[in-house]
Amino acid sequence: MTYMHIGKDFTPPDVEGKVTGAARYAEDFKKDGMVFARMLTSPIPAGRVVNIDASAALAMPGVVGIFTADDLPPSAPPANPALAKEYVTYIGQPILAVAAESDLIAEEALAKIVVEYQRRPFVVDPLDTLTEGGPDPYPMGNTLIRNSGEAAAGTTASGTDVGRIKWSIDQVTAFRNGREPTGAEFGSEWEYGDVAARFAECTTVIEEPFVTIGQPHHSLESRTSMAYWENGKCYFHGSLQSHTVGHDVLAGMLEIDPANLVFINENTGGGFGSKIFPYPNMAITGRFARQLNRPVQLRITRAEEFFIGSARSGMQGWIKIGLKDTGRVGAVDVIIVNDAGSGGGGSGGSSAEHISIMFQPEAMRFRGVSMYTNTTPRGAQRGPGQNEMAAVLAPMMDKAANMAGIDRVAFRRINAPRADGKIGERQGGLSSSYMPESIDKAAQMFNWEEKIAKPRQISATKVRGIGVGQGFHTAGSNGYDGLIRIAPDGTIYLHTGVGNLGTYSYAGITRAAAEALQCNWDNCVIVHGNEALNLPHSTYQGGSNTMFTETRSSHVAALDIIEKMKEIAMAEFGGTIDDYSIGGERVFLTSDSSKGMSYGEAAQKAIEMGGKYSGMEYPDNIHRTTQRSVQAMQGTGLIGVAKDTLPREGAVPGMAIAFVEIELDTETGKFDITDYSAVAECGTVVHPQGLSQAMNGGGVWGFGMAAYERHVYDPQNGLPANVGLYQSKPPTYLDVPVTMNTAGMDLPDPQSPVGAKGIGEPAQGCAVAALMSAFTDALDGHLFNRTPVTADMIVNHIAQNGHNTGNLKTNTF
Amino acid sequence: MSSHDVMPEMSLYQPVRVEDAIGIANQFADRGWLVGGGQDTYGWLKDRAKSADALIDLKGIESMRGITETADGIEIGALVTLTEIANNPLIKERYALLSQAAVKVASPQIRNVGTIAGNVSQDVRCWYYRRGLNCYRAGGNLCYADTPEGMNREHAIFNASRCVAVTPSDTGPALVALEAQMVIDSASGQRVVSAEDFFVGPNVDITHTTVLAPGDILTAVRIPAKWANAQFFFEKVADRNAWDFALVSLSAAMRVNNGVIEESRIVAGAVQATPRRLTSVEQAVRGKARDEATANSVGNLASRDANPLNYNHFKMPLMDNLVKRALRGQA
Amino acid sequence: MEIIRYRRDVWGEEVILGVSWDLLWVIAVTAFVLLAAHAIFMAALAKKKAMPSAQGKRVKRHEGIDRAFHWIMAGSVLVLIFTGIAPIIGLRISWLNIHWIAGLILSFVCIFHTIRALFWQDFKSMLLGPADFKEPFDETIKPGKYSFEQKGMHWAMTVLVIAVIATGITLFLHIDSPWWDRPSVDNEATLGVFFLLHGISTLGLIAFTAIHIYFAVRPEKRFYTRSMVQGWISEDELKANHDTDKWKPE
Ligand SMILES: Cc1cc2nc3c(=O)[nH]c(=O)nc-3n(C[C@H](O)[C@H](O)[C@H](O)COP(=O)(O)OP(=O)(O)OC[C@H]3O[C@@H](n4cnc5c(N)ncnc54)[C@H](O)[C@@H]3O)c2cc1C
Ligand code: SF4
């Protein structure tokens, strides 16, 4: 299909500000009379606050107030409180905030506050707390229990409680040694097909342990926020990766009428899953500002961003994979113990889902348990579950394929999901899948046949590794609102409540509206980032879903406004709605294009006609947020507003496949990526530059996950070793290839009006998997069974000194 | 505990003459803090892991700048930045070992401001210590890194004495290999210390990494002509290729005549608290060809006396491999 | 001036770090002043008394093995003190290994000495009883083998050396040695108390070592020092200083 805008590059409006530095983030906003709030964080990994003596701090000139857990509604574990009191569960957990006239005074005041703690036992490795007799991270247990919807008193996380699951020493020992922990208890289990029967039919069966360590999100923009109150309204500058979907949640956290909240967030410097919804410390900013009756900026330092900014859950696992002689994956049995940190949850289920869709096993069983530890809270991070599973699974699948004597790419093609593919426990369907085609396209880009035939030994000290990996994430949702206003001057305002998390998707999705409106892009203005500008209720931005979900709501809003323009024209020129067409930013009688009017004229008429045309009336199925925005724009132009009720069925899979060639130095454990080729199965490509950005960025992060990034805790005292960004080791410009070849499959998903699906997470998943696969290939099929694989591990392996971190430890080097 | 990141209040002195800087440094003694590029300093101060009453900013002292040719080699002003060293034609031509080491330090931004004096005088990077814990090196009673469960992947495999931190400097080992002389000015005059003696281990002084005492200012680094245009080898292995400290680095200067190594100085970084001269290797290869056979003949001589901790055994083969590369003459 | 040094432990709680080394100077100055005063006092006021002759018959005071023990102990104590204070006073030497080796030597020699003293020597001669306390105040009372001062010094040194060794061994267990790797420290406060006790006993030991050396070189006591080197005193010296009823040397 030929499009006017879809599939074409354009310059999103925030690019210039990002390049020049003019772009403003929450911390850049100041307000007269603003005070700086800073947090005091826990030095102990587990315990409770016995007493706080802030008298010396409060007596300091310039100190204006203190805010503690007592100033917040009570919350009980496992809810992650903004400020801890009874349950301090990790080092760095915020205890209180102090506000002062300057940042320096606030910082000095913190040093004067004496907090008395009572310590409790702590644990940093999930298997240690899982072992009978092992310490528990909370006094009442070590795992999240769902209480069929009933919330523990005061919890914000409804229906959850902290419970206890223990395994016997024998079970843990078996698990640590890569064997199935027979008879062990799990928090969640599912199975489809007859796993035992399918295994019996398999001719190749492998059993492997695996471990992945977490990674902190370390968003470059820390979660600083600023709030002030004016005329009963709270103006809140924050840093979320979604925007309006967080509105009601934030209002709830501040216990105010949503109508009295204006949330402003033009740019977000990274969230990666940690800022999808409002997070606990935002409650401090708004409430403290109200308490002090002054604007408050709660400034979050880099170290605090590590502590409260979330991290990927590590996993320790065991898997059994069976291949039939046809090369089909007959059965998979997988056990995952997740590290949920001091709060949040593991993503074992999503990990299992990755296996189920990418390799379509005929039968599969998943058993998982998510253990709390006294480490930073965990949460979604780019492909939570799926990507870490992609990482460890790729080399294991390679091993199975090699044992079965099947080419690794052919093996993936045999098992790849097609349009009739199934996913997960319930074996639900997919909205579309062009994965086999994507595998072929990427293999061709990479020259797989030629590369795989190359000798592995390059020189005495260099070996080649060829890897292939796949990434997946569900990439679509529905049911959000679209909002467009055309002003009498003809300017088309494309309103979106999508957050600007740096991916340009907020802009990309509006192209679907422009496409429907057949309008000149120069006449379009994207309205976003500030609720005072009247934004619709838009999707949460996690799980690659923005492109699919919001091209739909943009599209329905455009259809609504087109219909209204036609009705307006009809009122002028008669006929039925079907007699009208649009084009050249005019609406006109199809039979006589001179009978028509420009979009601007239609807008003028809309104002005159009032009613639904100028927003005086609106559909009642739209969200309250959208309703308020429409109300605020009443009478200012032609309003197109609609909720996405387009049909939708099955999971929307965003998928990607990558190939990596590396040259590995056997003397240093270092490697160069000499080729990276990846194809995104993301439906229709909406914004080619945006796609290549996503694929490159995801690729880089995938390399980081495979070989560099880490989450290290000292088990002796619960101290984190990678609080600093440089200590967490994201890859640098010298660790990644200069050019990365990426492309989109560019075949449409039938459930998106423009055919688009998202590709955020899989871009990373395919890269980490491919690089892990390349390591194994370079090292004669050696499985590290772990990510990341760092240079020291490679050196140890080659030296055969038996000193690689083994034993399924997470939060370690 | 609070997560600090604001510079604390302290006085700032900006002397323009070495004598004045010495005077101020003496006045504040151990409460004064010299600062060159500040790349080590600011982290300590902002984290509140260390403190000082006065910051003595040396950057205004013209006499401590510039790279000059002398009768016996070159003299590098203490304030010369790592970028300047990496790009200096004289150094690149004759003492390429140093420029190769300098260009591998940290990141371009840090190299642009970090000085050679600061780079050799920087404190260790042990994460426990940098966190502000009161370990031995901070004047305390214990080491958190060298314990059965200590997270000590980056730590020492040699010559630990209670503290197992390693020297983080990339230029330090190169200077030791080049037999550099460190020029130190103080109220009692000027003294010149060899680079080898400039660095001190925890067995001798657990709270300092160099011989510098309060009131001492490193004003210049002299590189003797002895090793000019010798054959050099530098390689740093870090997790990442930029913005990262060495896991092990190797600096070697070799006088090769007719393919035979007449004399060499081979120095490893990041394996102990000071640059480690591999004298046993130097002796073993004296009079031998710089080739694969010699490289193989040294085997694991370099790492023979290593005493690895929980997580750093890899440094032994890595160090041996780098030595082989240096002797082989190519990667 | 502080007496005890405090630090924050890994949890941010204030714990004892050890004794303040300011006290080292206090001890040094005090010991010097007191001993100098004593020397002046003795020189100015003490009655000129003819020193007993070293000639004539020799009486065995110390067996060779005991003399060897003494000097090994003395040597190791001096080495311990020197290596212990070197880093405090800013002397740059590699002190720790020498320190613990000297400590181990001292410990072993002390054990041997104790066993020997209990079973092979006249242990009672070193016992300090109530009667001994009259000795300094009554010129007519002469001691047996050991004078009140000598017994006092011996027992003071015994207590201090035991304290130094006991605390020193505890600290030794916290560093790497050829026989074990350093353990984790669960409780920094307790470790700090051991450092404090080691420091205090060290200060005591320094003071008493200074006093001991001072008396060892005083002219009227020098024959004891000689006896510790050569093993004998003269009969004259014996009679002048000891009650032969109480001490009957062979
Ligand atoms: C993220 C990061 C990564 C890094 N990676 C590396 C790396 O890979 N390799 C590497 O070698 N280094 C690395 N560094 C360290 C950095 O290179 C050094 O901190 C820098 O070179 C120090 O130089 P400076 O002039 O900025 O030092 P300053 O901070 O100014 O000084 C450092 C120390 O030297 C003292 N000092 C400075 N000048 C003098 C003088 N003239 N006389 C006496 N004392 C003086 C100061 O008092 C201070 O104690 C890294 C640092 C960071 C923050
Ligand atoms: S290695 Fe050194 S710097 Fe690190 S904790 Fe131990 S004593 Fe401190």
- Complete domains list, chain B, with CATH: 8-331 (3.30.465.10)
Q: Which atom of ligand 2 is nearest to the CA of B152?
A: 1
- Give pLDDT, residue A508: 96
Q: Which atom of ligand 1 is nearest to the CA of B64?
A: 41
Residue positions counted in chain B: 331
The CA distance from B295 to B290, in Å, is: 8
- Give every CB contact of residue C213 below 8 A, 6+ residues apart in sequence: none
- Give pLDDT, residue B330: 60
- Dihedral, CA of residue C80, residue C83, residue C89 and residue C91, to nearest 10: 160
- Give pLDDT, residue C122: 80
The CA distance from A676 to A674, in Å, is: 7
Q: Which atom of ligand 1 is nearest to the CA of B115?
A: 25
Shared domain check, A629 and A485: yes
- Give pLDDT, residue C18: 95
A256, A288, A308 - which closes a domain: A308
Tokens 């401590």, residue located: B64
Mean pLDDT of C193-220: 94
Probe ligand 1: pick from B121, B127, B210, max atoms within 8 Å of CB? B121
For residue A618, give the nearest of A496, A485, A752, A492 by alpha carbon.
A485
Instruction: Decide if B46 contacts B4 (C-beta within 8 A).
Output: yes
Chain A partners of C10 at a C-beta cutoff of 8 Å?
Answer: 43, 717, 719
Mean pLDDT of B171-182: 98
Would you call C188 and B206 a contact, using CB atoms and an 8 Å cutoff?
A: no
Shared domain check, A511 and A435: no
Can you give the C-alpha Rg of chain B in angstroms? 19
- Give pLDDT, residue A573: 96
Would you call C176 and B146 a contact, using CB atoms and an 8 Å cutoff?
A: yes
The CA distance from B230 to C238, in Å, is: 76
Residue A191 covered by a domain = no
Shared domain check, A464 and A435: yes
Q: Please state the domain count of chain A.
A: 3
Interface pTM (ipTM) of the complex? 0.97
For residue A564, give the nearest of A523, A636, A615 by alpha carbon.
A615
**CA A209 vs CA A333, A388, A774, A798, B67: distances in Å:** 12, 14, 19, 21, 57
Would you call C184 and B160 a contact, using CB atoms and an 8 Å cutoff?
A: no
CB-based pocket (< 6 A), ligand 2 = B 124, 126, 128-129, 135-137, 143-146, 155, 163-165
Q: Per-domain residue ranges for chain C?
A: 4-44+64-127+148-217, 226-250
Task: Give Cα A69 distance to the centre of its chain.
Answer: 29
Would you call C12 and B146 a contact, using CB atoms and an 8 Å cutoff?
A: no
Shared domain check, A511 and A467: no
Chain A partners of B144 at a C-beta cutoff of 8 Å?
Answer: 714, 716-717, 719
Chain C partners of A43 at a C-beta cutoff of 8 Å?
Answer: 10-12
- Give pLDDT, residue A455: 97
Q: Confirm or reject contact between C98 and chain B (CB < 8 A).
A: no
Shared domain check, A461 and A395: yes
Shared domain check, A462 and A401: yes
- Give pLDDT, residue A149: 55
The 3-state DSSP class for residue B211 equals coil
Read off the pTM: 0.95
- Give pLDDT, residue B163: 97
Residues of chain A with pLDDT under 70: 148-159, 805-806
Distance between B40 CA and the closest CA of chain C, angstroms: 23
Q: Which amino acid is at B129?
A: Y
Helix ranges restricted to H, chain B: 18-28, 41-46, 82-87, 89-94, 96-102, 108-113, 116-121, 127-130, 171-177, 195-198, 279-285, 292-297, 315-328
For residue B226, give the nearest of B258, B181, B170 by alpha carbon.
B181
Tens digits of per-residue pLDDT, C54-65?
A: 888 899 999 899
- CATH number of the domain where residue A416 is located: 3.30.365.10
- Give pLDDT, residue A148: 61
DSSP state string for C116-133: HHHHTS-GGGG---GGGG
- Give every CB contact of residue B71 below 8 A, 6+ residues apart in sequence: none
Shared domain check, A29 and A72: yes
Domain of A302 in residue numbering reads as: 17-122+221-269+275-308
Shared domain check, A690 and A635: no
Mean pLDDT of B213-217: 96
- Give pLDDT, residue A155: 42
Shared domain check, A229 and A109: yes
Shared domain check, A469 and A486: no
Shared domain check, A720 and A688: yes
Count the neighbouring beta carbons within 10 Å of the beta carbon of residue B14. 15
Shared domain check, A469 and A484: no
**For residues B295-317, b (16+ Cβ closer than 10 Å) or e, as one string?**
beebeebbbeebebbbbbbbbbb
Mean pLDDT of C2-17: 94
Probe ligand 1: pick from B35, B100, B182, B207, max atoms within 8 Å of CB? B35
Query: C4-44+64-127+148-217: what CATH class?
Result: mainly alpha
The 3-state DSSP class for residue A663 equals strand
- CATH number of the domain where residue A71 is located: 3.90.1170.50
